Amino acid sequence: MSGTERIGTFTRDGLVFDVRDEGPIDGTPVVLLHGFPQDSRSWDALAPLLHRRGFRTLAPDQRGYSAGARPRARWAYRTSELVADVVALIDQAGLGPAHVVGHDWGAAVAWGIAAERPDRVRTLTALSVPHPAAFVRAMVTSRQILKSWYMFAFQLPWIPERVIASDRFGYRALRASGQSVGEAKRDLESMRDRTRARGALNWYRAMPFTAPRSASRKVRVPTLLVWSDGDTAIGPVGPALTSRFVDGPYTYEVLHGVSHWIPDEAAVRVDELLGNHLLDQS
């Protein structure tokens, strides 16, 4: 497919992924990867700002979130598969190397793409989540393991699907983490679809299937990490250690007074940071 044609879906191994392809059709491509429990709508505040800068954005609903891409087995959600999905998007859209921006789990996938397929990445921007190896070190050297308690709880079968969709727990948990009323309702409503909730949770359940060596590879593409000091899920140690795992040009920014939900809450500030980071490499 030519890079000057809009796409609404892409396919891989029989799975069909939905994509929001917006902005100037001839603009430099930026792939936006959402996290848990969100979808491509999490970029609604940021994407228009990037369009004004002349960028074209492609925001997929990733594996487990797109209705046509929800395999049942948890091993189907290991990081190598998630990375291959986004590489397929870049290739099928005919984009050539793209700027890759990810938040939360989307940031983890973005780190993987930059490490495994740097030929497909112009720049990497990770929001909230540090390099995987830095995160692992933080788990054993800081209070990060306490902040990540839910990762262990999500390993249980079927119970998390019921819990995260409930107003009693899911809504309160999202609000307590800093989400607005509207954003919490938006994301919780999607999780009421049990197959979607299972697919989203399988990202956590597939963590034991990720090869430790692949998670420790250094990144050599230009990289921007943005962390916020109001993040209840990610502590400061992992982000502080990330520079050890980036050999290319690297910038680390801390947003003060911002929660974990950076794309929704601080879109204007992220746009400013991306304006410098992306334009330097376009």
Per-residue pLDDT band for 279 (boundaries 50, 70, 90) equals confident
How many distinct structural domains can be found in the chain?
Answer: 1
Q: How far is CA 110 from the centre of its chain?
A: 7
Q: Pick from 186, 169, 189: which is nearest to 264 by CA?
A: 186
Query: How does pLDDT run across 127-166, given as a tens digit for each residue?
Result: 999 999 999 999 999 999 999 999 999 999 999 999 988 8
Sheet holding 98-103, edge to edge: 9-12, 15-22, 56-60, 29-33, 98-103, 121-127, 223-230, 250-259
In this prediction, residue 281 carries a pLDDT of: 67
Contact 69, 93 (CB under 8 A): no
Contact 132, 216 (CB under 8 A): yes
* Percent of the chain residues past pLDDT 70, beyond the cut: 98
Q: How far apart are CA 277 and CA 233, in angstroms?
A: 25
- Mean pLDDT in residue range 106-114: 97
Q: Pick from 89, 94, 100: which is nearest to 26 by CA?
A: 94
In this prediction, residue 95 carries a pLDDT of: 84
Q: Which amino acid is at 271?
A: D
Which residue in the block uniquely carries the two structure tokens 């992306």? Answer: 278
The H or E element containing residue 123 is: strand 121-127
2 lies in some domain = no
- Mean pLDDT in residue range 5-22: 97
1 lies in some domain = no
Which residues have a Cβ under 8 Å from the Cβ of 222 and sit 6 or more positions away? 122, 123, 124, 248, 249, 250, 277, 280, 281
- Checking DSSP bridges between strand 9-12 and strand 15-22, what pairing results, if any? antiparallel
Q: Residue 34: is its pLDDT beyond 90? A: yes
In this prediction, residue 166 carries a pLDDT of: 83
In this prediction, residue 6 carries a pLDDT of: 95
In this prediction, residue 169 carries a pLDDT of: 87
22 lies in some domain = yes
Per-residue pLDDT band for 13 (boundaries 50, 70, 90) equals very high
124 lies in some domain = yes
Q: How far apart are CA 140 and CA 143, in angstroms?
A: 8
In this prediction, residue 215 carries a pLDDT of: 78
In this prediction, residue 216 carries a pLDDT of: 85
Q: Residue 32: is its pLDDT beyond 90? A: yes
Q: Residue 282: is its pLDDT beyond 70? A: no
φ, ψ (nearest 5 deg) of residue 226: -120, 120
In this prediction, residue 2 carries a pLDDT of: 60
181 lies in some domain = yes
Give the CATH number of the domain where residue 105 resides.
3.40.50.1820
Q: 117 lies in which domain range?
A: 9-279
244 lies in some domain = yes
Choose the weakest-confidence range: 10-19, 88-97, 252-261.
88-97
Contact 160, 201 (CB under 8 A): yes
3 lies in some domain = no
- Mean pLDDT in residue range 183-199: 95
257 lies in some domain = yes
